[in-house]
Structure 1
């Protein structure tokens, strides 16, 4: 028996046309999908992508496909699905690492990334540091040094959007039109990580969130920006292919309960009735 866990993400810190194609840097938070792989009969309630990952792994290791029927996958996760919180990436990345541990076979993070994108567009939460990632091909993996101390007040919407639905949207022209803004955001994010500067990280995320409005607009977005300014928060980030929004702050510096009060006062609860205070983490499957 072996276990592994991978964090969720509150959308992305940045996502858009960067270095010649669409790329992203996820916003990993301390909410995990935990997977246990044991010897035994497969469960009837398995998540299909977790079983698909096991089949891919066996092919990668050139093992008999039938071996998969001797592996039992138990996935424990309360991460909201289809809202831009990287629930699928967390499930399949944790499944891959737990399977590798159970079978005592090697699996490095670059190979893990390639296996994940072969199943679906993948978040960069599987890397042990913030990473600029080509989520479609795994061809770009640029790691950022450092992790500013940031918490995320995750605003959850009842609206859902699957990753596949997002990728069917005509995006290329809009993404390219915002390339200059995203290059600026990427530069600020690198500087933020190098200097452990939460303010710069917030600025980078906000630039990307504003650009995202041209493609997948969030309701009452200008009101959210006013809330950020009112509370002198670091900024906000969004799920570029989902519905969640994150308010970037530090509970040692910012009054979280006041922010929650403003959400009600400014009538934002109509769009995001639930919120969770989470810590931003570096990422990685453990």
Structure 2
């Protein structure tokens, strides 16, 4: 059998995250940063090691690494980019296609959730799921053309170390339950303004549990420029400013205002990404890439 390449995008946190009837739900969107794994027949030459969680999750499918692989990623770790989920889905997708000729994103996502709370980046449709078990709650085929300006601090965090929403006395779980309903309404109406409002409200509710430096200043700036909204990594450190394609004309002014604000030294890494709908992609390749 020839080599198989699998890739999975990271995300800029979650568009929203909430608690409904004692269950956590979230929805992550893809960005232009990816993890990629290529699996092929053994040649005895392997270049890059897999990350620990990739090895953990592949053990859910096999206890024998009888293949060669390469691993590449441009997703930062410890920030809230869904790097672990993207890594794990890439190795699982490549192995599943290589060994069995088939790939089930729901199944592979549930395997990731056994290792740690996971995100819905493997789905090409926007998918609301329980991060603790990977169960799908709701999906939409709406794919709005959006962008995110990512604000990233230098600081790394252990994104699995924070107390869960359901267990945090600081998190307003009862208020958060309407986020899911409002997200569904926004998608059904294909209304990006409602979508931005859901993201911003989710960020503010989560700020009671895990405060983000300068979040209110960022939201004020976004509102002043008439941009779509703000979303966050609910258990990470990055913040996303959501924009429509038409709002990209404000990017110069947005960056100018950010750069002259004290927050610029904290969120020192800033970059624009298109929001993508690739999900986990698996392809046959002629040979393992170097």
- Both proteins in one fold, TM over 0.5: yes
Measure how far apart 1:284 and its partner are.
1.7
Residues in 2 aligned to 1:147 and 1:173: alpha-carbon distance in whole angstroms: 35
Instruction: Choose the corresponding residue for 1:8, options 10, 13, 16.
Output: 10
| Contact 1:146–1:195 (CA under 8 A) maintained in structure 2 | no
Residues in 2 aligned to 1:44 and 1:12: alpha-carbon distance in whole angstroms: 29
1:107 corresponding residue in structure 2? 103
Which runs of 5 or more structure 1 residues have no equivalent in the other structure? 59-64
Tell me the secondary structure at the aligned position of residue 161 of structure 2: helix
Tell me the secondary structure at the aligned position of residue 269 of structure 1: helix
2:75 is the alignment partner of 1:73: no
Residues in 2 aligned to 1:170 and 1:141: alpha-carbon distance in whole angstroms: 17
Q: Which moved more, 1:237-246 or 1:98-107?
A: 98-107
1:57 corresponding residue in structure 2? 61
Measure how far apart 1:29 and its partner are.
1.3
Residues in 2 aligned to 1:283 and 1:184: alpha-carbon distance in whole angstroms: 28
Measure how far apart 1:30 and its partner are.
2.2
Residues in 1 aligned to 2:166 and 2:191: alpha-carbon distance in whole angstroms: 35
Measure how far apart 1:38 and its partner are.
1.7
2:40 is the alignment partner of 1:45: no
Q: Which moved more, 1:119-128 or 1:38-47?
A: 38-47
Residues in 2 aligned to 1:144 and 1:159: alpha-carbon distance in whole angstroms: 34
2:217 is the alignment partner of 1:213: no
CA 1:10–1:231 in structure 2 vs 1: closer, same or farther (change >3 Å)? same
User: Greater share of helix residues, 1 or 2?
Assistant: 1
Residues in 2 aligned to 1:172 and 1:139: alpha-carbon distance in whole angstroms: 22
TM-score by length of 2: 0.89
Please tell me the root mean square deviation across aligned C-alpha atoms, in Å: 1.9
Instruction: Choose the corresponding residue for 2:155, options 142, 154, 159.
Output: 159
Paired residues for 1:275-286 under 5 Å: 275-286=270-281
Residues in 2 aligned to 1:19 and 1:281: alpha-carbon distance in whole angstroms: 31
Residues in 2 aligned to 1:266 and 1:236: alpha-carbon distance in whole angstroms: 17
Residues in 1 aligned to 2:19 and 2:166: alpha-carbon distance in whole angstroms: 14
Measure how far apart 1:277 and its partner are.
0.6
2:137 is the alignment partner of 1:149: no
Paired residues for 1:247-286 under 5 Å: 247-254=241-248, 255-286=250-281
| Contact 2:48–2:70 (CA under 8 A) maintained in structure 1 | no
Measure how far apart 1:9 and its partner are.
0.5
2:230 is the alignment partner of 1:236: yes
TM-score by length of 1: 0.90
2:197 is the alignment partner of 1:203: yes
Residues in 1 aligned to 2:102 and 2:21: alpha-carbon distance in whole angstroms: 31
CA 1:211–1:130 in structure 2 vs 1: closer, same or farther (change >3 Å)? same
Q: Which moved more, 1:233-242 or 1:158-167?
A: 158-167
Aligned length: 276
CA 1:169–1:109 in structure 2 vs 1: closer, same or farther (change >3 Å)? closer
Which runs of 5 or more structure 2 residues have no equivalent in the other structure? 282-290
CA 1:193–1:281 in structure 2 vs 1: closer, same or farther (change >3 Å)? farther
2:216 corresponding residue in structure 1? 222
Paired residues for 1:171-186 under 5 Å: 171-175=167-171, 177-180=172-175, 182-186=176-180
Residues in 2 aligned to 1:38 and 1:280: alpha-carbon distance in whole angstroms: 31
